[in-house]
């Protein structure tokens, strides 16, 4: 079997896995999108809006969930994420732990991590799931050095979640 055929087999397997995931998650994604639309855009779907317009009735909205969600999000913003660095086996000295803590703090500060976490939490509160990622980027355009960074994922419905995980945060 040629390398090309092997690669095609891998690509087909990946496409099948993606399609299985999309089929599995489509109901949850649709409900999340509907929740977010209800919360921030309109409580009426397009069919209901057309019927109200046809009957010349106003689209009145009484969105009690908006204030509650905004309050929950505001509370989370007031309680910033704190990173704790500790030795897994108890063998690291304080100096080593401080170096790692400093590096993590710098990565978080350079990535504006509080904004990243706030936006992901906003998605989680308003549609049931939110996401952020860790990636590497070059230090500057002429550098070979790569630095880890955090970023918010604006479309968490396009993320793939582990369907058999036991942790409620899917971590």
Q: Residue 117, Cβ neighbours under 10 Å: how many?
A: 19
With beta carbons less than 8 A apart as the criterion, state whether 153 and 132 touch. yes
Phi, psi of 134 (to 5 degrees): -110, 130
Phi, psi of 99 (to 5 degrees): -65, -45
With beta carbons less than 8 A apart as the criterion, state whether 139 and 148 touch. no
What local confidence, expressed as pLDDT, does residue 161 receive? Answer: 81
* DSSP run (H or E) holding 166: none
Per-residue pLDDT of the chain (171 residues; tens, 9 = 90+): 678 888 888 999 999 988 998 898 899 899 999 888 888 888 787 888 888 888 888 877 777 788 888 898 888 888 877 788 888 888 888 898 999 999 999 999 999 998 999 999 999 998 888 999 999 999 888 989 999 999 999 999 888 887 777 887 776
What local confidence, expressed as pLDDT, does residue 15 receive? Answer: 93
Three-state DSSP state, 24:
helix
What local confidence, expressed as pLDDT, does residue 1 receive? Answer: 67
What local confidence, expressed as pLDDT, does residue 47 receive? Answer: 87
What local confidence, expressed as pLDDT, does residue 117 receive? Answer: 92
Write the DSSP assignment of the chain as a string of letters. --HHHHHHHHHHHHHHHHHHHHHHHHHHHHHHHHHHHHHHT-SS-HHHHHHHHHTT-------SHHHHHHHHHHHHHHS--------SSS---HHHHHHHHHHHHHHHHHTTHHHHHHHHHHHHHHHS---EEEEEEESSTT---EEEEEEE-S-GGGS---TT--STT--
With beta carbons less than 8 A apart as the criterion, state whether 36 and 127 touch. yes
Predicted TM-score (pTM) of the model is: 0.75
Tokens of 110: 């350079």
């Amino acid at each position: 079997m040629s390398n090309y055929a092997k690669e095609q087999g891998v690509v087909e397997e990946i496409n099948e896995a993606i399609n299985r995931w999309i089929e599995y998650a489509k109901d949850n994604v649709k409900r999340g999108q509907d929740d977010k639309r209800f919360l921030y855009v309109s409580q009426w779907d397009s069919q209901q809006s057309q019927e109200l317009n046809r009957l010349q009735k106003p689209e009145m909205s009484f969105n009690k969930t908006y204030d509650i969600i905004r309050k929950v999000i505001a509370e989370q913003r007031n309680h910033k994420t704190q990173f704790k660095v500790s030795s897994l086996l108890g063998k690291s000295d304080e100096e080593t732990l401080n170096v790692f803590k400093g590096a993590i703090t710098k990565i978080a500060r350079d990535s504006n991590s509080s904004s990243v976490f706030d936006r992901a939490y906003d998605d989680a509160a308003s549609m049931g799931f939110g996401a952020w990622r860790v990636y590497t980027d070059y230090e500057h355009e002429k550098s070979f050095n790569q630095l880890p960074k955090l970023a918010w994922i604006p479309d968490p419905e396009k993320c793939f979640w582990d369907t058999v995980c036991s942790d409620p945060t899917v971590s």
